[in-house]
C-alpha cells in the first residue's frame, strides 16, 4: 500500500508520509514532518516543520498544526482547528526590528491517543489534550485537558465525561460511569476518569 498525494499538495522531500495515508489538495507538509500510516490530511491543511503524527489520524480541511505539535495514534483534528506554538506573539522586537526564527521559542500542543478537537477550536500551546478527550467546536483550550474529558467554551472547561466512542457517559452512581453506546464502564477518582478494566489491571 502506498500513500496518495494530490498534485496540488506541497510535501517537502524530507517529510515522511506513511503507507495508506492521503494528503489532499492545497495542503502543505513541511520539512521533517512525520505522518504515520492510514492518515488523512484534508484540503488546505498545514502541518509544520518536524510535527509528529501517529497512525490513523485525521486532519480536516484548513486545519493549522504548527510545530512542534505531537499527535498520537487515532487523533482527530476538525476543520479550521489551530494548534498554536507562540506563547508571547509579536511581529517585531522591542527595538522595532522584525522578529526572526531565532527571536522566539516554539512550544507545542500534545494530543494523546484517540483525542478529538472540534471545528474552529484553538489549542493555545503549551497544552496537552488527554487520551480520548474531546474539545467541542469553537472552544479555546488554555489548560491541559484530562483523559476522557469533554471541554467546551472560552476558555474551555470540562462539562462532561466521554468514553472511547466519543459519547457522553451516564452517571450510575458511586463514581461509576457507563457508555450508553458500548456499555463500557469507567471509574472516576479524584477528578480523573479511567476505564474500569484498566483500573483493575493496575491494581
Whichever domain contains 102, its CATH number is 2.160.10.10
Within 8 A by CB and 6+ apart from 172, the residues are 178
Nearest to 145, CA basis, from 133, 137, 161? 133
Rounded distance, CA 31 to CA 26, Å? 16
Instruction: Identify the pLDDT of residue 94.
Output: 94
In this structure, the answer to whether residues 112 and 93 fall within a common structural domain is yes
- Residue 145 CA to residue 106 CA, distance in Å, equals 21
What is the model's pTM?
0.93
Question: At a CB cut-off of 8 Å and minimum separation 6, what does 170 contact?
Answer: 177, 178, 179, 180
Band (121; pLDDT cuts 50, 70, 90): very high
| pLDDT(202) > 50 | no
Instruction: Give the domain extent around 110.
Output: 4-162
* 25 and 118 housed in the same domain: yes
Spatial CB neighbours of 24, under 8 Å, sequence gap ≥ 6: 6, 9, 40, 41, 42, 43, 45, 61
Whether 71 and 154 map to the same domain: the answer is yes
> For 134-185, what is each residue's pLDDT tens digit?
999 999 999 999 999 999 999 999 999 999 999 999 999 999 999 999 999 9
pLDDT band at 133 (very low <50, low <70, confident <90, very high): very high
| 119 plus 175 within the same structural domain | no
Residues 105 and 200 grouped into a single domain:
no
Same domain? For 129 and 182 the reply is no
Same domain, 150 and 174: no
38-95 per-position pLDDT tens digit = 999 999 999 999 999 999 999 999 999 999 999 999 999 999 999 999 999 999 999 9
Tell me: do 154 and 174 sit in the same domain.
no
Cα–Cα distance measured from residue 47 to residue 129, given in angstroms and rounded to the nearest whole number: 18
Task: Say if strands 170-173 and 16-17 run parallel, antiparallel, or are unpaired.
Answer: unpaired
Q: Phi, psi (5° rounding) for residue 157?
A: -135, 150
pLDDT score, position 198: 85
Same domain membership, residue 158 and residue 171: no
Residues 41 and 131 in one domain: yes
Same domain for 46 and 115: yes
Examine the domain organization and report whether 100 and 70 are in the same domain.
yes
Q: Structurally, how many domains does the chain consist of?
A: 2
Amino acid at each position: 500500500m502506498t500513500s496518495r498525494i494530490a498534485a496540488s499538495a506541497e510535501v517537502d522531500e524530507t517529510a515522511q508520509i506513511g503507507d495508506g495515508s492521503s494528503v489532499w489538495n492545497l495542503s502543505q507538509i513541511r520539512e521533517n514532518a512525520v505522518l504515520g500510516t492510514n492518515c488523512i490530511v484534508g484540503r488546505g491543511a498545514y502541518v509544520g516543520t518536524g510535527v509528529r503524527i501517529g497512525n490513523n489520524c485525521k486532519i480536516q480541511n484548513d486545519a493549522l498544526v504548527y510545530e512542534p505539535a505531537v499527535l498520537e495514534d487515532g487523533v482527530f483534528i476538525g476543520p479550521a482547528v489551530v494548534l498554536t506554538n507562540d506563547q508571547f506573539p509579536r511581529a517585531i522586537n522591542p527595538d522595532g526590528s522584525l522578529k526572526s526564527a531565532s527571536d522566539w521559542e516554539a512550544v507545542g500542543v500534545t494530543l494523546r491517543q484517540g483525542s478529538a478537537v472540534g471545528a474552529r477550536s484553538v489549542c493555545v500551546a503549551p497544552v496537552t489534550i488527554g487520551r480520548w478527550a474531546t474539545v467541542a467546536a469553537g472552544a479555546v483550550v488554555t489548560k491541559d485537558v484530562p483523559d476522557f474529558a469533554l471541554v467546551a467554551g472560552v476558555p474551555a472547561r470540562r462539562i462532561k465525561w466521554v468514553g472511547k466512542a466519543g459519547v457522553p457517559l451516564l452517571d450510575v452512581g458511586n463514581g461509576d460511569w457507563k457508555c450508553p453506546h458500548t456499555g463500557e464502564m469507567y471509574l472516576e477518582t479524584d477528578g480523573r476518569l479511567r476505564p474500569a478494566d484498566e483500573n483493575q489491571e493496575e491494581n
